[in-house]
A and B are shown apart, each in its own frame.
Chain A
Amino acid sequence: MGAVDSPERSSRGGKKKKARVAIRIDMTPMVDVAFLLLIFFMVTTVFRLPQAMEINLPPESAGEAEVNEKNLLYLRVDPADSLWYNVGFENPKRMSWSELRGLLKERKNTIGDKLTIVAKIHRKAKYAHMVDLLDEFNLARTTRFSILKFDVTDDSLIALGGGPITRGL
């Protein structure tokens, strides 16, 4: 294995001709390693699968539930993709998306499982924000939330806080 053939000497005096060396390399180990690696990567490769997020819509004829206004947290997303929040009947205040997790945590700690979230997303806002909101609700282990239509009332409420006025929803 790994034999290197010895050159045949044609040492017949005269000029010293450089002898050709016939090299023969055993390729078995290389092939072994190549296949080993190939099989290793084939077996260990995990293709990145998309994840899923489950959502249950309430049936259309869902009954109404009475909720104490103090337990109610409104989250609104305006067409400019800003986030507005208010508790109960307060006026909406603008907040950044990074503050959302802290807010949910704080609400959850003070109110507990009674926390009910109403999310209103403007039609012109990005779909990603709906996923973001649901994701944060899931992370905060909040199960009581509803997604409602962003209507003209929300529009004027946000305008009170200095938000964009978007007629024609």
Chain B
Amino acid sequence: MARPVKKRIGIKIDMTPMVDVAFLLLIFFMSTTQFKPPEQVPINLPGSHSNLKLPESDILIISVAQDGRITMSLGAPNLDAQMGFMKPNERGMLRAVEYKPQEIGDLILKARVANLKVRLILKADKEAEYGAVEDVMAVLQKINMNRFNMVTELEKD
């Protein structure tokens, strides 16, 4: 018995709706993506020729803003809230807590107890006074956390 030969059917799908949706999504994500959460304290990094990659996990960032304000972060808002580095303000928004140089020593030790692998990162504004950074380094030296990374921007010349 001869099998009935299946007839080939040329399928033609209108792709316009798919493309519409794809572009819609593309444009939606393009316009809504925020690459970096806007920093609460803007920091302009100094340039250097160092090409060491900044570690991304197990970090404790000590930020020194241009006016010498010190804030700390573990690199993730939920961890910061847990550690008390960020506290909600009256409108419920998380804000970084400012610290005095003499306060950070205990906090660094606390963070180190919570995570022994924690690495220190000093992120200071290039226009900041060296004195503010000197104070932070004195504290680090005092608590014997002698190794840390300074964040810089790659500079080429």
Known interface pairs A59-B146, A124-B131; A139-B49 also in contact (CB < 8 Å): yes
Closest to A53 in B: B50
Q: How many residues of B contact A (CB 8 A)?
A: 46
Tell me whether A52 and B52 are in contact in the complex, defined as CB-CB below 8 angstroms, given that A27-B15, A131-B150, A131-B152 are known contacts. Answer: yes
Q: Tell me which residues across on chain B come within 8 A of A131, comparing CB atoms.
A: 46-48, 126, 150, 152
Are the CB atoms of B141 and A127 closer together than 8 Å? no
Are B149 and A28 closer than 8 Å at their CB atoms?
no
Interface residue A65 (Cβ < 8 Å from any Cβ of B): no
Q: DSSP class of A's interface residues: helix, strand, loop or mixed?
A: mixed
- Asked whether, in the complex, the Cβ of A127 is within 8 Å of the Cβ of B46, the reply is yes
Q: What is the CA–CA distance of A128 and B151 in the complex, to the nearest angstrom? A: 11
Judge whether A57 and B129 touch: CB under 8 Å. no
Residues 34-59 of A contacting B (Cβ, < 8 Å): 34-35, 38, 47-59
Q: How far is the CB of A28 from chain B (nearest CB, A)?
A: 6
Residues in B1-57 with C-beta less than 8 Å from chain A: 15-16, 18-19, 22-23, 26, 35, 45-55
Q: Which range contains the number of A residues in contact with the other chain?
A: 35 or more
Q: Are A127 and B64 in contact (CB under 8 A)?
A: yes
Q: Which residues of A contact B54 (CB under 8 A)?
A: 49-52
Docked pose: A34 CA to B121 CA in angstroms: 41
Which residues on B sit within 8 Å (CB–CB) of A38? 26
Task: Report the nearest A residue to B121, measured CB to CB.
Answer: A52
Interchain CB contact under 8 A, A52 and B46: no
The distance in angstroms between the C-alpha atoms of A122 and B130, with both chains bound, is 7
B134 contacts the other chain (CB 8 A): yes
Name the distance in Å between A75's Cβ and chain B's nearest Cβ: 13
Which B residues contact A (CB, under 8 angstroms)? Answer: 15-16, 18-19, 22-23, 26, 35, 45-55, 64, 121, 124-134, 137, 140-142, 144, 146-154
Residues of A within 8 A of B (CB): 27-28, 31, 34-35, 38, 47-60, 77, 121-132, 134-135, 138-139, 149
